[in-house]
Structure 1
């Protein structure tokens, strides 16, 4: 057990033998209870004797989960602790601690407990068993009321102002209860998406509740308007507890103890300005387990905060007037006492002033084992520290001077002493960096000595490493110095990959890399692939200054101009590209793609396709096509296809099966033939179901597929959201050629994702066919698409209709409905492929244009335009 002193916490006691994880402070602030599995201890905080502590052994195999002292004067000698499923009520009288009640009703571990603020007999407890029990000590045999919450209750808190309101936390939700209104909650709050660790009512505002959560936030709710949090305080770590201060607009937070991330400080916030903490309480060497406010004594303007940590130390912090002002509280300084009166009852050797004590604490906590750094001198009177940092090439003597107001917003000053071995430029950069780090720390009222010293050592190590690299690159083996450009440019440019593999097109694997002989050669030379371009020359360095090696010369010089040793290296390291046919690894088959048909009735094409599958040895496909032929046979009526489990449903499962096996070819073929989502038996009704209300099917109007023929993969939102059209089950005779509507567009219907997957299979298979150069087969698949293609976006060349002179995108004019272009060679209307001059606008059939301009230069219309030359001039940059 030890006693430590500091300007902020004037009392610090360590009790490592207790191994306590729960703390409670009585209503007068005189006694503190510390409870663990082995001991329960009581300490008088008004007595500065370090040995003044009472220990009471516990005979239990369970640890203490929570502890709290009764808040009323009537039962001020009562305290309660939770141990597994039981509550133990203890009485502290005449220096003895005795158990008076044992409360048993929970069936799982108790998570929290809370005494009523005004009723001396009422106690609430919460548990993992989802129940919140309300106990009256006058009849402790059973709870007076049990509140069922369905979900685990992790926190319970009585309202400070309203004696009937109770708040409980359940994962990320809050429930409010009124003990006058039965066992049902009166209000429900969906507060956080993560678990709530702490609850606290505002001691002055009845309706304000603060919740701390695993999601790194503290939220403030007004229970009169519970739909949305009033405001949110964001932190850098999950918050274990957040409690209001007894003064101003303050709030104190601590991180979750289970994290053990080195965040051992408490943060003081002003809830009116939540951007950053106004103060940080630094002193604990491990995470804080519990903290409570000590009752303010008469005539004292300082508030006190009592904290208990995992490091088994108890600290009592003094909240001075300047900290209270930061939280919006104006203390009455007329009641101020002499600050030295606080320490009169304690003998402190070599008593120092308050600021000196803060610096003494920082000096005492400084880690003297920082690598490559020695502390030469620490002077509390003159308030400075001198350190020495040594690396391979640098020696830095640094003096740090601390102003009187440090660390409350005022950073220390840094000075590099004369015996240091760094130049002025490096010294200036180092001082600038240290000053910046110090300013960032003191803005949060945090000390900065150790972080600054560690950063200085890391900076010097990096400078030494860079210097060594530069010297190595400047050696004679790397002549000329600008062999691969400036060092700062190439040293951080990664070397190109020397090997890799990628699937290209369909069923083709492209691999590149160095040959085996080059790897053996590199091994003999004790070399490996360089990490940067600047290191390339170390593998094959030139012995003659006249031989310059660059990236381009290394790879592209001819053998006649390349030095002999470089020529050898070039031959050895020449990359190799190998193409592998991996078609046997995939289910898609190019031979089948060229043989499959979609013409004729369904039964005939299924039989034909099954025979083609047998030719390539795909007997699983033969079975699938045979089932498809049986399903589509003449004995199956249209209405039976949907009701019979061996009809449409069987085909649906077959499509899903082949899609799950990545056989996109078979899934797409079956989708073209049997992809039908709706259950209407009449085909005319099916087509009408595609249209928006008021749209009619008018003969003579075709639905034309728009968009670029090369854009075959549908947009992600089309597939994901399901905005597609129901598919048709029939073959060529019922494809999109017969779908005639009034306009070129159609309003999509929202359907399930099964239909959208059918469309995706067709699009994906069409893309595969395009890569195989099977363009006719690709067009056949696209005819069965029920989703219009994406409209082309980009540069388009439109021709003016020769009849009405309106711009026309297609061969038929949208305005006058006539063919918009006549061939200038054969004078026949153009329905297929055409080409036109960009200058004179004349053109015609592509084949006629090719034949004409193979013999002539002038336009066949007689306009005098040299079409090929003029068009080339227009397109030239």
Structure 2
């Protein structure tokens, strides 16, 4: 961790917005962190600041919980819960591989926990009221199932006893002993509100604490469970409460679903529960998970790892000073000055139950990461603080002194150190007046005022700096219109200052101008016309013409595009425009859930029934009716009737009407699916009947087969097939799935479509829907839709390698010879016929399975057959330019 840059008490280990992870776990060695979400699984190496590996996860369910195996024997194992399933993963050689899939719960899994002593035992609990115990040596079914009346929200193994575990059910706690059947051995009526977290004591098997929605943490002794030993009361519902690995400490976090702005963790001393000892301030959103990292040998600092909704991973350093606040005496540090300073500041504390002084407590709770502010020194003995504020070109060094009676009606003293500050006397007077007024208001109510005063000082300096810069640039960039008349081009349009655009997956992107340019433009009488006036030209002309006119503004001044070094220090709120991204899927008929649930594999009747059920789940009754009609039209019973049903008004014509209706309503998802279903229906008719009947253009003609160049997966023939006298007008050059490559022969209204134009539109629907599926990441569904396209795949134009059959010496493209039915290629390593990925030497012709050859040439250079050919060297030399 030598290369890590600590920001006072923490450093940012990872910040990755695209992870969207909601579960985090730290392994038993303290080296790796698992971050799990619906889209990705990620492994972060805390020893390497740059190394993070992401593994895509294709699932429609979020990860509920994640945990590493706590034992050294199976430290590479981790487990995550997804809906009703547990996935056990193995981290080995930079690969994260699923080794077990545990399924027994019938509803969502709420929590999981590894056994603290047996590395193969795992516990899980669910909304289905069951607690299952699993053994990875036989993962087919749970080794023990415990049943409760209410749903189980938490499950935790005892840290000292290998047989005890605790579960939380609403406001109650149940203690189970796996040796004594399926009934709980202890029952605790702990809270009147829901329990969110449980944590066993790390030192005693009889003590457990529970965190609840009633804003309390209660501590119970199993030998006397009727009432809590003591209660810790907070000001918000508690999501998790966990013991520290040192002293009498306890860490609490607020329920993240509330989103009340409580983004900090609190450190308590359970022996002094009146107020928290320390606050961990750094996250910009609610904390989702936190765990302790294993302490390295010789290190006196403990480390806490936290993961937040802002997708930021922070590692906090718990220094010996903070450890002493929890009644823990750390071993001697390598840097004894830290211990001496901490000891001097804690002389006022008692040994067993430390009593924190008000000023010392305020210093420990101070957020030292206020933007544009640096805390240079906090001296609780001398009772003063030195801070430095830097905003744009302003630098202010402030000293705050605290009287002994502070904060009981006596405000602190404020002094601006002028030797280290570069602000004018008028600004100093304004700052001191503001600080004294705010401090007096706070201490009149016996409240501390340090952090509010510092934040208000930064805000005031930002406002003063912004006003000064606005006045300066107003004077600098205003030029007379007559001067620049020859440089401006009246025919160049003004750049776009705002806009909005939809994409095909229901996302609306909007952008606008920055705030300050927008305010400035409201004062202008005219709009700048061109971009020809550069800042360099402005400065040159500024030296020539001294006269200025407020009636003209250049484009450069309009956008405040100042090519200056100070632009790096300008606050993002004042210089950057904001791009808004909205989820507008509710405005469109495209539905991702339907796209995930729809199928195209199987007979038409099965497909229509399944898709109708999927539409009913999302509340689309119109689609349920449409799929029911499609089943009646294109079902197997109708395909048996052949020509009569195809010409019936409720046959092909009804299907065409359904497709046209949904296309006219801009529901291309349903239109494309119906086009694919109609293709399967026409193929079924072609197989059943030998008489030519009316078909949609582009469908199979009865009695004809696909051309040899066509794909065996296509249910629609190539473009040169003639159906009922019409040549299909699909262009042969349309090979890509991009909508730009699909052009219609003629723009025809949907209500007056002729057959050739209709066929082109049907192809357009399928391509448009396939592109939407691709953007959603539903690659398999996209491939299923593209199987129903009319056009042929591109013919192979590169080098082609063929095998000669050993029996009949004929060149063969497939895995078996069509003449003698013998395997074409046998692996030179394992002597088994090759039916999958294969490689062969271009010199000696010997080859086999790709995996077998990779294994052989990992430690050999000569061909396995003994022919003496150096296959790798020879093949590489042939392809060199």
Q: TM-score range by the shorter chain?
A: 0.3 to 0.5
Question: Which is higher, the Rg of structure 1 or of structure 2?
Answer: 1
